[in-house]
Amino acid sequence: MAKATKKQALGRGLSALLQETSNNINSASDKNADKVVGNIIEIELELIEVNPYQPRTYFDEEALRELAGSIRELGVIQPITVRKLEGNKFQLVSGERRFRASKLIGSKTIPAYIRLANDQEMLEMALVENIQRKNLDPIEVALSYQRLIDEIQLTQEELSIRVGKKRSTVTNYLRLLKLDPILQTGMRDGFISMGHGRAMINVENTEDQLAIYEKILRDKLSVRQTEDLVKSLKSGKVTKQPKKKLVPTYVKSSIKEISEYLGQKIDVTVGTNGKGKISIPFHSEEDFNRIKNLLK
């Protein structure tokens, strides 16, 4: 307990120093920078702006309320990380959930680890820090990987080293972005897993992807069943259902009338060239003769 009190007192002392010198600290070589940068300091929440590079787009409200309750009881155990902007302003690098939860309970300040970083370093820190989290969905991870490649100009090999993952793992995530947006949304919302998504990556036709996705949801297919379905489709063993052709209005309006006259429900198909066929079912020789007599 004494240790915690000493740490808080140190934070307050540095906070006072920050208020006096913050406007003049813009680089590591500036006066008193060593006393501020790299230290944990209590910063007013209103001086901190959210991270524009935050890859996470959804924050569970219930989980935030639970975290807020914990912070109310125990305080912020792990400080957030911010970078110093011009003047007495700061920007989040990591810890947005703690930041949001603290605001939720009306806190005025929050302990923060201060560092200096340019925009590129800021982006890289935010993306890498978030990638390490376990609660990101597969598409959020894939988008973060893609942003690191596009905006930091990293190769997949360099990226795998930065995030501490095998190159094959990075590649598997990035390939998910080739899927139809509807499937990507399905993964983000938890309707299908990354395994389902990976199974459909080699299905190039979008309509086939969507048909498989619908079957996964309808029949609750496992990843293994999905893989088997994709193999069957690619080997040609799955017969695709032909698209239903639209029946012209002049035919549709007469189907009921003809069916009632014949006493049988008829089927009418019409080709793209306008030619069609009427199918009349019968159930016995007697039924056939009855229909024949009606057509005389």
Domain boundaries along the sequence of the chain:
2-117, 191-241, 244-281
| pTM more than 0.85 | no
pLDDT bracket for residue 119 (50, 70, 90): low
Active site residues: 96
pLDDT digits (tens, 9 = 90+) for 130-142: 666 656 788 888 8
Average pLDDT over residues 137-166: 84
Q: State the pLDDT at residue 58.
A: 64
Q: State the pLDDT at residue 95.
A: 84
Buried b / exposed e along 104-138 (16+ C-beta atoms within 10 A): beebebbbbbbbbbeeeebbbbbbbbbbeeeebbb
If one compares 245 and 197, the residue with the highest pLDDT of the two is 197
Q: State the pLDDT at residue 242.
A: 47
pLDDT digits (tens, 9 = 90+) for 40-95: 888 899 999 887 766 566 677 888 888 899 999 888 888 888 888 777 788 888 78
Is CATH 3.40.50.720 the right assignment for the domain spanning 2-117?
no
Average pLDDT over residues 247-258: 79
293: pLDDT strictly greater than 60: yes
pLDDT digits (tens, 9 = 90+) for 218-244: 999 999 999 999 998 887 765 444 455
Separation between Cα atoms, residue 74 and residue 55, nearest integer Å: 28
If one compares 264 and 113, the residue with the highest pLDDT of the two is 113
- What is the pLDDT of the chain when averaged over all its residues? 78
Residue pair 255/268 in contact by the 8 Å Cβ criterion: yes
Range from 53-62, 195-204, 207-216 carrying the lowest mean pLDDT: 53-62
Separation between Cα atoms, residue 201 and residue 178, nearest integer Å: 7
pLDDT bracket for residue 9 (50, 70, 90): very low
pLDDT bracket for residue 280 (50, 70, 90): confident
If one compares 39 and 142, the residue with the highest pLDDT of the two is 142
